[in-house]
Amino acid sequence: MPKKTMGSAATRRVNRVSGFFCALLLTVLSFSGGPVQAASSDYEIYEGFKTLARIFYEVNVKFVEEPNSSEMVTGAVRGMLNTLDAHSSYLTPEEMNEFQQESSGSFTGVGMELSSKDSNITVVAPIEDTPASRAGLLSGDQIISIDDKNVQDLSLNEVVKLIRGPKGTKVTITVHRPAVKKILTFSLIRDFIPLRSVRSEILSPGIGYVSISNFQAETANDVEKAVGDLSKTSPLTGLVLDLRNDPGGLLDQAIKVSGLFIGAAPVVNTKGRTPDQNMEYSSDQRAILPFNCPIVVLVNEGSASASEIVAGALQDYGRGTILGAKTFGKGSVQSIVRMPDGSGLRLTTARFFTPSGRPIQTEGIIPDVEVPSLLPANYKPVREIDLERHLLGANEKPGESADAVVEESAEETEETVMPTKSFREMTLAERLEVDKQLSQALEMLQKGQVRSRFTGDVPFSTHKTIG
């Protein structure tokens, strides 16, 4: 009976791995459009995969302990995507399931949008009325540890996985708050985050308020219902549409929500590397308010992606007056590619542009009326341009520093007194006292200082409509 050696076992294992990489290489090259040496780029890919396969071989044969091949493949994929932009990522089957739950409007956790900035996992915005927002976490907080586990070498997806967990369980999050140069620790109880995306109320006779916290599957329907409910007593003579701290969500909902105010019209354009990514997306909705009903759209540093699409469209058409602070500036399209094993690829494939052609990526939406956000003294919010590996904007030069962004003066921010309770816990009168953006929007509507310039005519040419 032949003797079974470690070397022969490793060789058989590596032969299987080599076979896998050969099949993968042929698949990749088939997508690139030709035989292995038909083009120099194909040859470079071939040589790169040879190196990758050799490294895989060396690790499998010589590493001090038998490695986990599945984890190595996942690590290789994540490393590849980490060379791209801040929003492209690999999702394991478990992460894909969580992504689908979020899109449907619910998950269990503490409720905050995270991103990567300068190798730090940073809070983009806490979701309203969640454990994170009630505890006082703020945009720009840098996560140091979760339950005493240092997150410095963890990916964004790994950090999210640590934060989430069963409802009712405790998670301790330690953050560095650069504005005040302090280390803060928050003990949070995980909860069901329903992501109720739409809230509404009457601010004063005839003036309604609709807030969108994120764009999920039923957001447009919920907005339509909210406006209808507000109009039951008497027709609205003005509306405040609050998109502050709205990190975005589903593109089709942003298009439909825009259509509720501008009717059937182009909402956003995308431009990518391939012709099929150069699209114009139009709404086919019926407007739910007369075009002469004035709208003030509130935005701030946490308004991103889908919320910037809505604000940009209403601004381009003169349908709404944008009030607040410059938005986050996330103007990139992520396509989700499902893999046979249930995993997924979240890949940036295009940039967003407003109907008139203005770029959103790193530029953001600049308000018509600028009113500083309620932020702690000397606090610098995080925007897309601050993120590590962010996709360059159409007008951004490589290496351009985000520090060039004009900040509010220290004199203005030092006088800011932060409220002791969340807006959700306040009466309307209390909110108007501390929320200068909301109070100014209401005052402008009450005094008739807001006019809609939109008459229903579409000033921008259409070339392809996607419902």
Per-position DSSP letters for 320-383, written without gaps between them: SEEEES------EEEEEEE-TTS-EEEEEEEEEE-TT--B-TTT----SEE------TT-----
pLDDT of residue 378: 78
Q: How many CB atoms lie within 10 A of CB 34?
A: 11
pTM of the model: 0.74
User: Rounded to the nearest 5°, which phi and psi values hold at 35?
Assistant: -65, 170
DSSP structural state of residue 27: H
SS3 of residue 417 by DSSP: coil
Angstrom distance (rounded) from CA 34 to CA 45: 12
Lookup: tokens for 170 = 């405790």
Which residues of the chain are in CATH 2.30.42.10 domains? 107-193
Q: Using CA atoms, how far apart are residues 452 and 407, in angstroms rounded to an integer?
A: 30
227 neighbors 244 (Cβ within 8 angstroms): no
Pairing of strands 142-146, 149-150: antiparallel
From-to residues of CATH 3.90.226.10 in the chain: 198-446
Residues annotated catalytic, as ranges: 305, 316, 330
Q: Which CATH number does the domain 198-446 belong to among 3.90.226.10, 3.90.480.20, 1.20.1260.10, 3.40.50.150?
A: 3.90.226.10
Amino acid at 415: E
CB 350 within 8 A of CB 405: no
Distance of CA 263 to the CA centre of its chain: 26
Give the pLDDT of residue 31.
Answer: 52
Give the model's pLDDT for residue 408. 40
DSSP label at residue 387: S
pLDDT tens, the chain, 467 aa long? 444 444 455 455 555 555 555 555 555 555 554 444 445 577 787 788 888 888 988 998 899 999 998 888 889 899 999 899 999 999 988 888 878 776 666 678 998 888 877 778 998 778 777 899 899 998 889 999 999 999 988 888 889 889 988 889 999 999 999 878 899 999 999 998 866 789 999 999 999 999 998 898 899 999 999 999 999 988 999 999 999 999 998 999 999 999 999 999 999 999 999 998 999 999 999 999 999 999 999 999 999 999 999 999 999 999 999 999 999 999 999 999 999 999 999 999 999 999 999 999 999 999 999 999 988 877 788 899 998 889 999 888 776 654 444 444 333 444 567 777 667 667 899 999 999 999 999 999 999 999 999 998 888 765 444 33
For 100, other C-beta atoms within 10 Å of its C-beta total 13
Quick one: DSSP state of residue 422? -
Whole-angstrom Cα distance, residue 290 to residue 306? 24
Which is it for strands 170-177 and 182-189: parallel, antiparallel or unpaired?
Answer: antiparallel
What is the reported pLDDT for 15?
A: 56
Q: What pLDDT is stored for residue 105 in this prediction?
A: 60
H helices within 108-237, ranges in order?
Answer: 131-135, 156-163, 219-230
Cβ 280 vs Cβ 269: under 8 Å: yes
Which CATH number fits the domain 107-193, given the four candidates 3.40.190.10, 3.90.180.10, 2.30.42.10, 3.30.1540.20?
A: 2.30.42.10
- The token duo for 360 is 């959103």
Work out whether strand 142-146 and strand 279-282 pair parallel, antiparallel, or are unpaired: unpaired
Question: What is the amino acid identity at position 211?
Answer: S
C-alpha distances out from residue 125 to 74, 113, 213, Å = 29, 5, 11
Residue 107, H or E segment: strand 107-109
pLDDT at 345: 93
- The dihedrals phi and psi of 88, each to the nearest 5 degrees, come to -85, 135
Place of tokens 């449907």: 104
